[in-house]
Amino acid sequence: MDITNSKVPVLRARPEHLYTYTCSHAHDAIGGSGLIRPLKDLLVTNVLDNQDEATRLIASYGWFTSLNNISRYSAGMIGLNKISLKCNRWEYRYRVASRFAGKLVPWTVERLTWPEHIAQALETDGPDLEPSSWYMSRGPVQVFYDPIPAPAPAKKTGWAALT
């Protein structure tokens, strides 16, 4: 039996921690409640009615990842480097509260409920995407601010090490 093109998801052990990343605007809003909600729950009623099916589906979920150190250089792995996003969506990191982590559904499972053409388009919307790192929720998820560690200073080498 050839399963290379099978629609059966490959299940993995749930990662120890799951994260979501956001810009300063959302960081300010999340600060008060500590909850991540699907975008559709935050918008004025009917605002998504004129949007395409893909946009409505994407907005129906809160999106999370197992990747713990996203930067502007790796934001493409989780789709945060889109031209249409006007903010640095990777500026702030939140860790999912452990009691909520088990309620998040891996993309590899949830995608089975999506129209195939939309799932395929989402998974191939950039060269660096890692859909196997995506998790999602249709309801609110408790998160805690988890600052991204500053990178270590570069070690001086060559002539620079002599100064």
Query: Tens digits of per-residue pLDDT, 106-158?
Result: 999 999 999 999 999 888 877 778 888 999 999 999 999 998 877 777 777 77
Whole-structure pTM over 0.85, yes or no?
A: no
66 in Cβ contact with 113 (< 8 Å): no
Is the pLDDT reported for residue 92 higher than 70? Answer: yes
Is the pLDDT reported for residue 89 higher than 90? Answer: no
| Distant-in-sequence, close-in-space partners of 15: CB < 8 Å, separation ≥ 6 | 66
Where exactly are the structural domains of the chain?
19-162
Stronger pLDDT, 9 or 48, i.e. the higher one: 48
Which tokens go with 130? 């890692």
Q: What is the β-pairing status of strands 92-96 and 19-22?
A: antiparallel
CA 116, 57, 140: angle at the middle one, nearest 5? 130
Distance CA 53, CA 68 (A): 30
| Distant-in-sequence, close-in-space partners of 139: CB < 8 Å, separation ≥ 6 | 37, 38, 62, 103
* Residues above pLDDT 90, as percent of the chain: 29
Distance CA 76, CA 15 (A): 20
Paired with 65 in beta bridges are 19, 134
9 in Cβ contact with 106 (< 8 Å): yes
3-state secondary structure of 82: coil
3-class secondary structure per residue, 9-72: CCCCCCCCCCEEEECHHHHHHHHHHCEECCHHHHCCCCCCCCCCHHHHHHHCCEEEECCCCCCC
State the Rg of the chain over Cα.
Answer: 18
pLDDT bin (cut points 50, 70, 90) of residue 86 is low
Is the pLDDT reported for residue 84 higher than 70? Answer: no
Is the pLDDT reported for residue 57 higher than 80? Answer: yes
